[in-house]
């Protein structure tokens, strides 16, 4: 008998359900008896002992369903070691619930913040297996995360829709794409949608170069320009600020986001109308794309295998086309950034895409 705790933490994304289904199916199909404790709303459920018992049939039919059947929340990871408002030691509470339920393992699905806490629990002696979930694909130790390709599909679809209206009206359009710290999603959706300019957190932009790129297009007869802007895109000047100074600047800004600032600057420098579209949270939602369904199912199945082998302390990741186990200490606290000199960036430049650098 295996007693498995399971939770999904952080911003939700596509294929969380597919991944959990993979874990449970692989264990049940092995013939191993199992009890599944689904903690609700991320670490909160583990801290406060809020869970529901699940059986195999709860995981039937959820391969294609977005979101997470367990609910999720962004527990303040930075304060995880601090007591809660009632003085409860949160880490201790999680450990107690783990031991009280006699769990063999915690299966944790999440992104960067989630992995820090998962590693903390491992250090505290709990058995932990994690699965790499994020639309940002910024998790260290794995080439790919599930949710990413589904988000690329949705963001690309938004750019596709904007394309026809931009072309018809001869306008400049900005599509703001999710990603505060890393630009994989914006880069891929931008390339897939045929964006002319792509602004990423990793490559600070010079607004003059952005305007130059627009003008060059006009000279060649292109009457419209599509700019894919990551939420975390940053100008060269702002990139020189300290983190604190930049934070302050953002707080004072009257622009809802950097896209609106870019739009305003382009408008002032060219006299042209610039429209901003923000697909926002739609990028996390809906049915996972086939790639993510297969990928998350595979990761889940391998997590199940590790559990059957009592082999704990790992994130199940993907490297060089192999599914691998990555020690949690190697993942926690790191970020996988996009290298500004990566081959794909060079290729995008060959294709004529400007990064404003």
Catalytic residue numbers, as ranges: 136
**Sequence-ordered list of residues with C-beta below 8 angstroms from that of 183, at least 6 positions apart, any chain:** 198, 200, 201, 202, 203, 230, 232, 233, 338
Region near its own copies per CB under 8 A, out of 200-208, 261-269, 282-290, 330-338: 282-290
Considering only residues 302, 313, 325, 336, which one is a binding residue for its own copies as defined by CB under 8 A? 302
Residue 14 CB, nearest distance to its own copies (Å)?
A: 8
**Which residue number, 21 or 122, has a Cβ lying nearer to its own copies?**
21
Residue 297 CB, nearest distance to its own copies (Å)?
A: 6
- Establish if 143 lies at the interface with its own copies (CB under 8 A): yes
Each residue 315-334 as x (binds its own copies by CB under 8 A) or -, in order, gives -----xxxx-----------
Residue 147 CB, nearest distance to its own copies (Å)?
A: 11
Residue 327 CB, nearest distance to its own copies (Å)?
A: 20
- Establish if 137 lies at the interface with its own copies (CB under 8 A): no
Chain centroid to Cα 201, Å, comes to 15
Distance between CA 257 and CA 238 in Å, rounded? 14
Distance between CA 223 and CA 245 in Å, rounded? 38
Considering only residues 2, 3, 71, 246, which one is a binding residue for its own copies as defined by CB under 8 A? 71
How many residues of this chain interact with its own copies, rule: CB under 8 A? 83
Considering only residues 128, 198, 203, 278, which one is a binding residue for its own copies as defined by CB under 8 A? 278
- Establish if 26 lies at the interface with its own copies (CB under 8 A): yes
Residue 309 CB, nearest distance to its own copies (Å)?
A: 12
- Establish if 241 lies at the interface with its own copies (CB under 8 A): no
Distance between CA 150 and CA 2 in Å, rounded? 32
Residue 34 CB, nearest distance to its own copies (Å)?
A: 14
135-155: b (≥16 Cβ within 10 Å) or e: bbbbbbbbebbbbbbbbbbbb
**Which residue number, 11 or 183, has a Cβ lying nearer to its own copies?**
11
Please, which of residues 40-69 interact with its own copies by CB under 8 A?
41, 63-68
**Which residue number, 25 or 116, has a Cβ lying nearer to its own copies?**
25
- Establish if 93 lies at the interface with its own copies (CB under 8 A): no
Region near its own copies per CB under 8 A, out of 27-35, 99-107, 204-212, 244-252: 27-35
- Establish if 280 lies at the interface with its own copies (CB under 8 A): yes
**Which residue number, 11 or 38, has a Cβ lying nearer to its own copies?**
11
8 Å CB contact between 114 and 332? no
**Sequence-ordered list of residues with C-beta below 8 angstroms from that of 236, at least 6 positions apart, any chain:** 204, 205, 206
Considering only residues 90, 115, 133, 284, which one is a binding residue for its own copies as defined by CB under 8 A? 284
Distance between CA 137 and CA 146 in Å, rounded? 8
8 Å CB contact between 250 and 233? no
Distance between CA 331 and CA 345 in Å, rounded? 25
Q: What secondary structure does DSSP assign to 215-227, as a single string? A: HHHHHTT---EEE
- Establish if 22 lies at the interface with its own copies (CB under 8 A): yes
Distance between CA 135 and CA 118 in Å, rounded? 19
Distance between CA 135 and CA 211 in Å, rounded? 30
Residue 285 CB, nearest distance to its own copies (Å)?
A: 3
| Among candidate residues 219, 214, 229, the one with its CA nearest the CA of residue 177 | 229
Distance between CA 149 and CA 155 in Å, rounded? 10
Considering only residues 4, 25, 129, 136, which one is a binding residue for its own copies as defined by CB under 8 A? 25
Strand, coil or helix: 333: coil
Please, which of residues 164-203 interact with its own copies by CB under 8 A?
164-165, 167-170, 173, 188-189, 191-194
């Amino acid at each position: 008998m295996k007693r498995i705790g399971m939770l999904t933490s952080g911003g939700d994304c596509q294929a969380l359900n597919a991944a959990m289904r993979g874990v449970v199916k692989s264990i049940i199909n092995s013939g191993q008896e199992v009890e599944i404790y689904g903690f609700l709303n991320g670490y909160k459920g583990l801290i406060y002992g809020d869970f529901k018992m699940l059986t195999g049939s709860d995981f039937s039919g959820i391969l294609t369903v977005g979101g997470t059947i367990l609910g999720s929340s962004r527990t303040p990871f930075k304060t995880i070691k601090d007591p809660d408002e009632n003085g409860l030691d949160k880490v201790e509470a999680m450990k107690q619930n783990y031991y009280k339920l006699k769990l063999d393992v915690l299966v944790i699905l999440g992104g960067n913040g989630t992995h820090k806490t998962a590693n903390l629990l491992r250090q505290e002696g709990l058995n932990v297996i994690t699965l790499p979930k994020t639309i940002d694909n910024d998790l260290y130790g794995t080439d790919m995360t599930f949710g990413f390709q589904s988000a690329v599909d949705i963001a690309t679809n938004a750019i596709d829709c904007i394309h026809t209206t931009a072309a018809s009206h001869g306008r400049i359009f900005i599509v703001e794409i999710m990603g505060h710290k890393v630009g994989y999603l914006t880069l891929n959706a931008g390339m897939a949608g045929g964006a002319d300019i792509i602004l990423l957190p990793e490559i600070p932009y010079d607004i003059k170069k952005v305007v130059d790129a627009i003008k060059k297009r006009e000279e060649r007869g292109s009457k419209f320009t599509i700019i894919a802007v990551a939420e975390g895109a940053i100008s060269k000047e702002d990139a020189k600020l300290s983190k604190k100074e930049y934070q302050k600047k953002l707080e004072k800004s009257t622009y809802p986001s950097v896209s609106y600032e870019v739009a305003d600057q382009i408008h002032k420098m060219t006299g042209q109308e610039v429209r901003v579209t923000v697909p926002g949270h739609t990028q996390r939602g809906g049915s996972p794309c086939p790639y993510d369904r297969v990928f998350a199912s595979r990761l889940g199945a391998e997590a199940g295998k590790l559990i059957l082998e009592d082999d704990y302390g790992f994130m199940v990741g993907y490297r060089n086309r192999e599914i691998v186990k990555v020690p949690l200490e190697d993942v926690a606290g790191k970020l996988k950034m996009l290298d500004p000199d990566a081959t794909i960036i060079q290729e995008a430049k060959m294709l004529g895409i400007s990064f404003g650098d």
